[in-house]
Amino acid sequence: MTTSHYIAGRWVEGQGSDCISVNDPALGQPFAELMAASAAQVDQAVAAARGALPAWKATSASERAGYLRGFAEQLGQRREALISVQMRNNGKPRHEAEIDLDDAIATFNYYAELAAQLPSKNREVPLAAPGFTARTRLEPVGVVGLIVPWNFPLVTSAWKLAPALAAGCTVVLKPSEVTPLVEQAYGQIADALGLPAGVLNIVNGKAETGAALSNHTGLDKLSFTGSNSVGSQVMRSASAQCRPVTLELGGKSAIVVFDDCDVDQAVAWIVAGITWNAGQMCSATSRLLVQDGIADTLLPRLQAALENLRVGNPLTEEVDMGPLTSQAQWLKVASYFATAREEGLQCLAGGRALDRDGWFVSPTLYADVPKDSRLWTEEIFGPVLCARRFATEEQAIAEANDSRFGLVATVCSTDLARAERVADALEVGHVWINSVQAVFVETSWGGTKGSGIGRELGPWGLSAYQSVKHVTRCLG
Ligand code: NAD
């Protein structure tokens, strides 16, 4: 690919020094390459966004809503191509690639509706004090940098782009170097819709390009999704400039299964929570807490279910789970298998890389994992489930909350009063009761503790790109 950066409404060649290889993880082989953007091109993208801001923020909310509906429609028109590229570059099974596309479409449609309602939010504020009136204006934050990871590229970018554009911000998006292809669609759609030049810019590159963007003094805000280690660097850049930042970071989430559960149903939820996207989900429920009375029945069934999953190349086989998306991730997961062996963990399923081309690992289950094991405490980002038993509700809550992360949790119980009580006690941003990984655009996304700062989706996702202004007038 030669022209892979979208700056000021034009497709341009990368002038950076890094060549990015785009890989098919099922074969472990590259199928495309592109040159990264240079720091000067990041400058140009920020300048283009700055230049486009006055006119874009002056557009009517209904005009912006029209563009967002156009994004949703155009994503739908590119359906097959976008599904194929996610299958090839991410290694996603077809049905997962379809879900991602539908999620991105729903996100643009949802924020189109919120954009259309914006004028009604700018309203008079009733004051107790006489002699004054006050009114609210929700203004765009300004020029926003958006840095995203590789695990759900189409979706993560939609969760940032749609509310940012709805609010009237202009943006510079930096996709992950692991999956730079699918988000090219957002630039192509901007072209097709005649979005004013500079409103949406896309620069591709590795850490250096990300750092050039996150350190840039021309931004008004940065929204980052990715690892905790890079998130803390992004936060340092923001703090150096006293600039707002949204951080969507990692997780080590619990799934709590009580004795009264239907075992088959619980097994299905547990498997989905750790094997969708080959476990490469910030929200993977990778810590299983199972109550004593059901553990000896559930664990063997879970072992069988994981061993029976069809793992393979989504482009050529019927599969439940594809490969890991990058070699780096495959090596990282393999290193946890080695740690598990060193720690003497009890492996009930998997625990190894597959002996075939590509970056495949077996769905893995370790039982009775000690609380201080690295596998229990650290985000692995692969299909690796660790289980522990508990006796009481209080113990389950305490163990689930005993983590430096706080992204999500799942509670499985037919006693709904108890499930709701446990959900209220969990220190996370989102809890699923008797369901798994069900994300709706109307509800919020984001975590507590080490899982980040701020919320995406819902009205909170829009607020993240708005600045509140009040105009107060003396009547006297
Ligand atoms: P990563 O932090 O390595 O990379 C994320 C992005 O940051 C990429 O675009 C990368 O190029 C860029 N980057 C790298 N170094 C940078 C630097 N020094 N300055 C600025 N940008 C830089 O993360 P990843 O491996 O792509 O993604 C996996 C991580 O993302 C996991 O920890 C996962 O939990 C997290 N994640 C969180 C959410 C959420 O909503 N909370 C969603 C998806 C993924």
CATH (domain of 35): 3.40.605.10
CA of 176 to the centre of ligand 1 (A): 8
- pLDDT of 2 reads 66
Two tokens, residue 393: 């509700």
Instruction: Report which secondary-structure segment, H or E, holds 9.
Output: none
What's the DSSP call for residue 357?
S
- Rounded CA gap, 108 and 164, in Å? 11
- pLDDT of 120 reads 82
Report strand pairing: 124-125 vs 200-202: unpaired
- Rounded CA gap, 249 and 17, in Å? 28
Expressed as residue numbers, the domain containing 41 is 5-249+451-474
> Does a structural domain hold residue 207?
yes
Residues constituting the chain: 476
> Does a structural domain hold residue 427?
yes
- Rounded CA gap, 298 and 293, in Å? 10
- pLDDT of 311 reads 98
> Does a structural domain hold residue 445?
no
Is 282 known to be catalytic? yes
DSSP secondary structure letters along 54-101:
HHHHTS-HHHHHHHHHHHHHHHHHTHHHHHHHHHHHH---HHHHHHHH
Q: Are residues 215 and 278 in the same domain?
A: no
Cβ(276) to ligand 1 under 6 A? Answer: no
What's the DSSP call for residue 320?
S
Q: Which atom of ligand 1 is nearest to the CA of 152?
A: 43
Q: Are residues 120 and 90 in the same domain?
A: yes
The neighbouring-strand residues paired with 466 are 140
Report strand pairing: 221-225 vs 245-248: parallel
Q: Are residues 44 and 160 in the same domain?
A: yes
DSSP H stretches of helix in 207-326? 207-214, 228-240, 263-275, 292-307
Query: To which residue do tokens 């950066």 refer?
Result: 5
> Does a structural domain hold residue 231?
yes
> Does a structural domain hold residue 330?
yes
Q: Are residues 457 and 413 in the same domain?
A: no
Instruction: Report which secondary-structure segment, H or E, holds 14.
Output: none
Q: Are residues 215 and 293 in the same domain?
A: no
Q: Are residues 162 and 294 in the same domain?
A: no
Q: Are residues 84 and 186 in the same domain?
A: yes
- Rounded CA gap, 454 and 460, in Å? 8
> Does a structural domain hold residue 446?
no
CA of 274 to the centre of ligand 1 (A): 19
| The one catalytic residue among 169, 261, 282, 386 | 282
Cβ(216) to ligand 1 under 6 A? Answer: no
Q: Please choose, from the candidates 394, 425, 393, the residue with its C-alpha nearest in 3D space to the C-alpha of residue 257.
A: 393
- pLDDT of 266 reads 97
Cβ(174) to ligand 1 under 6 A? Answer: yes
Is 412 known to be catalytic? no
Q: Are residues 67 and 16 in the same domain?
A: yes
Q: Are residues 169 and 227 in the same domain?
A: yes
Q: Are residues 271 and 237 in the same domain?
A: no
Choosing from 18, 204, 224, 225 the residue with most ligand 1 atoms within 8 A of its CB, the one to mutate for a pocket test is 225
Phi and psi torsions of 351, nearest 5°: 80, 20
> Does a structural domain hold residue 139?
yes
Measured on CA atoms in the order 108, 109, 112, 113, is the torsion positive or negative? Answer: negative
| The one catalytic residue among 248, 379, 399, 456 | 248
Q: Are residues 210 and 281 in the same domain?
A: no
Q: Are residues 183 and 218 in the same domain?
A: yes
Measured on CA atoms in the order 232, 238, 242, 244, is the torsion positive or negative? Answer: negative
Specify whether the CB–CB gap between 95 and 48 falls below 8 A. Answer: no
Cβ(177) to ligand 1 under 6 A? Answer: yes
**Ligand 1 atom 26, closest CA:** 149
Task: Give the total number of structural domains in the chain.
Answer: 2
- pLDDT of 119 reads 83
> Does a structural domain hold residue 105?
yes
- pLDDT of 1 reads 60
- Rounded CA gap, 235 and 221, in Å? 11
Two tokens, residue 182: 């699918």
Cβ(25) to ligand 1 under 6 A? Answer: no
Two tokens, residue 134: 């006050």
Two tokens, residue 159: 């969760």
Cβ(331) to ligand 1 under 6 A? Answer: no
Residues of the chain with pLDDT under 50: none
CATH number for the domain including 403? 3.40.309.10
